Amino acid sequence: MSKLSVSHLLGIKYLTTSDIELIFETASHFKEVINRPIKKVPSLRDVTIANLFFENSTRTKLSFELAQKRLSADVINFSASNSSVKKGESLIDTVNNILSMKVDMVVMRHPNPGAAMFLSKHVDASIVNAGDGAHEHPTQALLDCFSIREKLGDIAGKKVVIVGDILHSRVALSNIFALKKLGAEVMVCGPLTLIPKHIESLGVTVETNLQKALQWADVANVLRVQFERMRTSFFPSNREYAMQYGITKQLVEQLDNDLLIMHPGPINRGVEISSDVADSEHAIILDQVENGVAVRMAILYLLASKIEQ
């Protein structure tokens, strides 16, 4: 059996193109499994996984938990908001206490960039980064690329524009790494206040005109405006943002090209995307969520096979 080159999933930056292809191949198999009447397989029986969420989540948390249960793993869930973290317990103390209960893998979401990397250097378990601040969200990028490949056949040569709040987005950085490794052309589009300086050094182009960007693209991955990470205003008002950078039905209908529209969720309806576009046949937002379970099953299965060596 082929193996991943890594023992942890900390970021797309650390994966090879062969790792990504192996994850996709394994995810395709698991997608077939979870569409059977009996959706559960015994692959991770006797593997114990802790899901540690220090930041809110709906999709990622539920998707990991379902993936683990479909693989027959034993699962424990931890949310910082109702834990002893509130009494001042440190990250390392929290995790070491959980690991002393004989946990093999840790899935962690944390508001600090680098938290998953830090953990991987200090504890004896396989670490999966479920989002670390505005740094990386590798499983989101993998499920996004898997979904593009499923709809368009291949990623190499495809034109993908990432629209919106690039500055505060871990989804943007992980998507840029993954799409570039798989041979896509990548553009970012948004107000210059929400585009990091020197982003071109990652091999992407910058466009501030949304209409031009959408006309160029095969795929638009529309990002949420991350109000919770903003300590100051980056644009005059939500209404103005929606007028300049919101994806509307009128904009989509003006295009000559057949655009695939994605969004990692949660959506600010009426800000970065209108409801009629989010719910239209152009959008594959719920397909992304469905694929998230298969992709996370693949990652957990492949990382667990490294533990057993």
- Residues lying near ligand CP in the complex (CB under 6 A): 57-60, 131, 140, 264-266
| Cβ-based neighbours of 109, under 8 Å, separated by 6 or more | 52, 53, 54, 55, 57, 60, 61, 130, 131, 132
Nearest CB to ligand CP, comparing residues 207 and 268 = 268
- How deeply is 197 buried, as exposed, middle or buried, from its count of CB atoms within 10 A (0-12, 13-18, 19+)? exposed
Collapse the DSSP code of 269 into the 3-class scheme (helix H, G, I; strand E, B; otherwise coil) and give the result: strand
H helix runs in 106-155, sequence order = 115-122, 138-152
Nearest CB to ligand CP, comparing residues 109 and 282 = 109
Q: What is the DSSP letter of 227?
A: G
The minimum distance between CB 130 and ligand CP, in angstroms, equals 8
Torsion of CA 266, 271, 275, 279, to 10 degrees: -50
The minimum distance between CB 201 and ligand CP, in angstroms, equals 26
Q: How far is CA 186 from CA 196, 230, 252, in A?
A: 15, 25, 19
The minimum distance between CB 263 and ligand CP, in angstroms, equals 9
Collapse the DSSP code of 234 into the 3-class scheme (helix H, G, I; strand E, B; otherwise coil) and give the result: coil
Q: Which two tokens stand for residue 49?
A: 């996984």
Nearest CB to ligand CP, comparing residues 185 and 262 = 262
Nearest CB to ligand CP, comparing residues 43 and 57 = 57
Nearest CB to ligand CP, comparing residues 58 and 280 = 58
Q: How far is CA 7 from CA 105, 135, 150, 239, in A?
A: 10, 20, 27, 45
The minimum distance between CB 85 and ligand CP, in angstroms, equals 19
**Separation of alpha carbons 59 and 140, rounded Å:** 10
The minimum distance between CB 60 and ligand CP, in angstroms, equals 3
Nearest CB to ligand CP, comparing residues 29 and 269 = 269
Q: Is 80 left (phi over 0), alpha (psi -120 to 50) or beta?
A: alpha
The minimum distance between CB 145 and ligand CP, in angstroms, equals 14
The minimum distance between CB 152 and ligand CP, in angstroms, equals 21
Nearest CB to ligand CP, comparing residues 236 and 266 = 266
